[in-house]
Structure 1
Amino acid sequence: MPSQGPLIPRRRLGAELRRLREAAGLHLEHAAAHLECSTSKVSRLETGQGIPKTRDIRDLLGLYGLTDQRAQDRLLRLAGDGRRQAWWQDLNDALTSNLDQYISLESEASLQRDFSISYIYGLLQTERYARALLRSIAPHERESIVEDRVGLRMKRQQEFGARTDLPRLDIILDEATLHRRVGDAGVMRDQLESLLAVNETTGRRLRVFPFSAQPDMGAQCSFVIFTFDSDYDRNAVHIELPGGDRWLEVESDIERYTLFFQALAGKSLSEDDTDALIKKIMANNQ
């Protein structure tokens, strides 16, 4: 599956192009005729799905009557950013369905809220845990592909940690993820120990949804809510399902899953009690 470059700059550019077109009182057909292309191409540009070419963007800005040079330069920079090679471009063989979009959002979101029911959240996994997990869920996959996917997961953690805009992580793990054996006892011990550092890291919060909690509507599947500070970006929910992942971007769906997460958080252990539970599980498994 080929990477198509950073998604967020393309979405920001597309939102601006649509706003400018509508402000000029023009329809997709007018823009398509001006570029001598199909309306679907213009639509893909406005939704961030198309790869923006500088000449096309200049032509559209001229058609829409944008004369402010600084505004033009900003939009052309977004077009350039939308064409640049993603850092994960060289690991295409390791990309699974939807992962290109997932990493794009992960690389730009100001806040990620995750609820995990099956295994430790990817950005918190140790390398040994990730390797054992990927081998377990894809037992027939070539070893080279497994190693590429482990490398990609570790690179995601590195890139996320290197961001200068201090993105926030708010993670809720179902208690089952702490007990479910992935790899051998040593793998689990190291993974649980690494979780104890999460709540000591600025911008990161880890809580556990305990077995003692009452059942909750939101606890039926793993999901991530990607939230952006910019008004130009669309928030999104990624839902992990055995039959294929789902993406939601309608505002009402975002609000619904935000309420799910808040309800789960209300039933979860505090950070201190979460750390105490992890230490207890480690002590019992010695």
Structure 2
Amino acid sequence: MPRNFRSNLQNRAVGRALALWRRESGLSLVEVSERVHWSTAKTSMLQNALIPIVDADVVALALAYRISNERRAPVVLGAQRARDPIKFDLLTGDASSCVGWTYDEVESEASHVRAVALDVLPPFVRTSEYESALRHVQVDAMLEQNHRHYSDAHRARVTSHLTEGPSLRLDLILGEAVLRRPIGSALAMADQLLRLAALADLPGVQVRLVPDEVGAFAGMTSFSQLSFREAVFDDVVYLDTLHGGTWLEYEHDRRPYAETFERLATVTLGAESTAGRLIEAAQSLKDSAA
């Protein structure tokens, strides 16, 4: 493994594509190695994005797996972009031709998610009614972007990772305004808050509330910061924007969000007080509906 190597999101997207190709082919690591004439360790490291992936390796594996030129092209371009995404984007003016990635693909690799929700709840904690109501009021541009591509199957996997072990940690900081902003009917919102209170009891989950009395603070925006077990994977920050999901990979871009999360964590209510506020808000909504 190259010294000081860091696997960026583009390199990891290429690795996921290579892993998918091998699963589709049904070939074992040994069988692949015999076809491309390199070690099984290299194939494993390539599909796990633990080493730089060059376009020549992508072509060799595409031939071994009998991948069509149409499917191979964006992965080859992705390998080229992964070397230097900034330079690639400046020269080509567009990264959409490269193999991409979704939020849930990156989150499925994470070991720790730190999220700040000041406007709406993040996808993982949403009930189906909350999700449906939110999509109903979103502008068409956001629906077309389908930012997080968050499936029910992925939500179930995340729940298992938070409960069995757990192998994933979720730290969620909520603004109190989220409790008062009804998404859908009063009963649907009450159910959502009660679900959130129940999720806070999972071993891998911590939910904390920033009370209104804290007042305004710098950087009032929602975001998610994802950390990973692999030493070659740096933290990344994800932002939902109107033009699509924005990923921040460079340390100087990520630092303000990490610092904001740390500052907010010092002014939140404790777990018990947060749960009490959630249940109180849910009951108030139920009472108003009655």
Q: TM-score range by the shorter chain?
A: 0.5 to 0.7
2-side partners of 1:45 and 1:279: how far apart? 39
2-side partners of 1:45 and 1:212: how far apart? 38
Unpaired runs of at least 5, structure 1:
1-15, 24-42, 62-71, 85-96
Equivalent position SS for 1:212: helix
* 1:117 aligned residue: 118
Deviation, structure 1 residue 240: 2.1
Written as runs of structure 1 = structure 2, the 5 A alignment for 1:16-35 is 16=1, 19=2
* 1:157 aligned residue: 155
Deviation, structure 1 residue 237: 0.5
| Residue 247 of structure 1 pairs with residue 247 of structure 2 | yes
2-side partners of 1:194 and 1:76: how far apart? 42
Relative to structure 1, is the Cα distance of residues 126 and 49 closer, same or farther in structure 2, using a 3 angstrom cutoff? closer
Residue 156 of structure 1 aligns to which amino acid in structure 2? H
2-side partners of 1:108 and 1:215: how far apart? 34
Residue 181 of structure 2 aligns to which amino acid in structure 1? R
Aligned residues: 221
Contact 1:218 1:261 in 2 (8 A): no
1-side partners of 2:214 and 2:259: how far apart? 17
* 2:237 aligned residue: 237
2-side partners of 1:175 and 1:45: how far apart? 33
2-side partners of 1:133 and 1:112: how far apart? 22
Deviation, structure 1 residue 236: 0.3
1-side partners of 2:183 and 2:189: how far apart? 6
Contact 1:130 1:150 in 2 (8 A): no
RMSD: 3.8
Relative to structure 1, is the Cα distance of residues 262 and 151 closer, same or farther in structure 2, using a 3 angstrom cutoff? closer
2-side partners of 1:186 and 1:266: how far apart? 32
* 1:282 aligned residue: 282
Contact 1:236 1:249 in 2 (8 A): yes
1-side partners of 2:142 and 2:103: how far apart? 22
TM-score, structure 2 normalization: 0.64
Contact 1:127 1:150 in 2 (8 A): no
* 2:179 aligned residue: 178
Residue 108 of structure 1 aligns to which amino acid in structure 2? E
* 1:47 aligned residue: 11
Written as runs of structure 1 = structure 2, the 5 A alignment for 1:1-286 is 16=1, 19=2, 47-50=11-14, 51-52=17-18, 72-80=39-47, 100-138=101-139, 152-163=150-161, 166-219=167-220, 221-285=221-285, 286=287
Contact 2:104 2:149 in 1 (8 A): no
Equivalent position SS for 2:200: helix
1-side partners of 2:9 and 2:185: how far apart? 48
2-side partners of 1:126 and 1:74: how far apart? 42
Equivalent position SS for 1:197: helix
TM-score, structure 1 normalization: 0.65
Residue 249 of structure 1 aligns to which amino acid in structure 2? E
Q: Deviations over 1:32-73 (max 9, x none)?
A: xxxxxxxxxxx9999345454867x956x6xxxxxxxxxx43
Contact 2:171 2:205 in 1 (8 A): yes
* 1:10 aligned residue: none
Contact 2:123 2:150 in 1 (8 A): no
2-side partners of 1:230 and 1:75: how far apart? 17
Deviation, structure 1 residue 274: 0.7
2-side partners of 1:129 and 1:99: how far apart? 28
Unpaired runs of at least 5, structure 2:
22-31, 50-60, 66-95
Equivalent position SS for 2:226: strand
1-side partners of 2:115 and 2:266: how far apart? 14
> Percent identical across equivalent pairs?
23
1-side partners of 2:148 and 2:237: how far apart? 24
Contact 1:131 1:150 in 2 (8 A): no
Equivalent position SS for 1:201: coil
2-side partners of 1:47 and 1:179: how far apart? 41
Relative to structure 1, is the Cα distance of residues 230 and 140 closer, same or farther in structure 2, using a 3 angstrom cutoff? closer
Deviation, structure 1 residue 78: 3.9
